[in-house]
Amino acid sequence: MRRWRVARNRGYRNAIAAPLYFRHSASLDHDTGSHPERAERIRTLERALEQNDWLGYEVRDAPAAEEEQLLRVHTRRHVESVREHCARGRPLDMDTPVTPGSWEAALRGAGAACALAEALLRGEAPTGFCGLRPPGHHATANRAMGFCLFSTVAVAARHALDALGAERVLVLDWDVHHGNGTHAIFHSTPEVLFASIHQWPFYPGSGALEDCGSDSGEGYTLNLPLPAGTGEGEWLAYVEHIVVPVARAYGPDLVLVSAGFDGHRDDPIAGCKLEAVSYAHMARHMRALSDELGVPAGAVLEGGYDLEALTASALATMAALAGGGEPRRVEAGSLVPAAAEQLGRHWRAVRKAA
């Protein structure tokens, strides 16, 4: 496969180029019935986007992921297991139902994230968003779980590293559930700085503050847990006072966001208190960081199960990624000092916040 050169500081913020929205009708063929992670999530989101002229995004059909891209992250046994379960319509676990259409949906989801990474690193677009399902961040190298079949963002990050010329990737996961799959896949490597802001203790049970990675990846995992009931101020404090300074010191070639919207106060599954505008604020922080570093940033849909909250939050995120603007600044709050003390052992940039 051709290896692309990274477009760092090479005019990728083309004022003429439109941001990209990747989609595919296969997302609707992953038929989960009345399951919280259902096709209506995409239908509702895309109706709103159509009514708003897609927010100026160029709409592209997502390609299917290639087997080589999946196998950089997942075991062959896992890929074959997902294929077989989908063909038989046999659930992968209690939370993860599948039908024959789920296989194509999962391939398109991972393929979209890879195509987004390619477009961003080639300088084709200023930013982008992948609006497909199923989500991906709970899938580990050898296990599907938590509604997820393939670890979509992990596949895209590894594709960027192995085939697109990137040397370092930042993944910020702001889904309310810990992204245990992405976490596990990159736990022992410094090639990906993985930051997860999540409700804790909560499903899937991982993501403790003290877990900072292992082996040569020690210090490159930032687990930032929050108690149920936490609102915008503490989430933004983690982004502004922990994620951004560490990422600035790390110097990624690409910024990817696992954009789950189930931290919204109206979400039926979780217990945090974000609003749609809260996601816009976090997205502006990522856009400002990417502008400062001269690297691209894009986002991939994860969770979010109240249809109105999901739609409003996704649109707010897309508008902020495309339009930028000054991020909302907040005080460090009550949670940042403990995180800074833990992570300051690895990152001088956050020691003063301890």
The two structure tokens encoding residue 90? 């046999």
The confidence score (pLDDT) of residue 4 equals 42
> CA-to-CA distance for 262 and 302, rounded, in angstroms?
9
Q: Along the chain (354 residues), what's the average pLDDT of each consecutive run of 10 residues?
A: 45 70 98 97 98 98 98 98 98 96 98 98 96 98 98 98 98 98 98 98 98 98 98 98 98 98 98 98 98 98 98 98 95 97 97 89
| DSSP H or E stretch at residue 26 | none
Give the pLDDT score at 5: 45
Return contacts of 33-36, CB within 8 angstroms, 24+ apart.
33/97, 35/97, 35/147, 36/147, 36/268, 36/269, 36/305
* Predicted pLDDT at 336: 98
Q: At what angle do helices 40-51 and 307-323 cross, to 10 degrees?
A: 50
Q: How many residues does the chain have?
A: 354
Q: Which two tokens stand for residue 112?
A: 């979209």
Q: Which residues pair with 170 in a beta bridge?
A: 193, 255
Distance CA(354)–CA(351), nearest Å, equals: 5
Any idea what DSSP says for residue 173? E
User: pTM of the predicted model, to two decimals?
Assistant: 0.96
Sequence-distant (6+) residues with CB within 8 A of 272 are: 176, 199, 226, 228, 229, 230, 231, 235, 263, 264, 265
Helix (H, G, I), strand (E, B) or coil at 41: helix
Degrees, nearest 5: CA angle 13-153-206: 130
Going by C-alpha positions, the residue among 63, 56, 29, 64 that lies closest to residue 43 is: 29
| CA-derived radius of gyration, the chain | 18
Look at strands 221-226 and 254-259 and give their pairing: unpaired
* H-state helical runs in the chain: 40-51, 67-71, 76-88, 102-121, 152-163, 180-185, 232-238, 244-250, 276-293, 307-323, 336-343
Joined tokens for residue 74: 């997942």
Instruction: Kindly compute the dihedral angle of the four CA atoms of residues 50, 56, 60, 62, in this order, to the nearest 10 degrees.
Output: -80
Q: Is residue 2 part of a domain?
A: no
Active site residues: 138
SS3 237: helix
CA atoms within 13 A on the CB side of 207: 29
Asked if residue 9 belongs to a domain, the reply is no
134 in a structural domain: yes
Q: Which residues pair with 221 in a beta bridge?
A: 194
Please check whether residue 193 is in contact with residue 213, taking contact to mean a CB–CB distance below 8 angstroms.
no
The Cβ of residue 3 has, within 10 Å, a number of other Cβ atoms equal to 8
CATH code of residue 79? 3.40.800.20
The answer to whether residue 293 sits within a structural domain is yes
- Host domain of residue 278: 20-353
Question: How far is the C-alpha of 72 from the C-alpha of 289, rounded, in Å?
Answer: 28
Say how many domains are in the chain. 1
Alpha-carbon torsion, ordered 102, 107, 110, 111, to 10 deg: -140
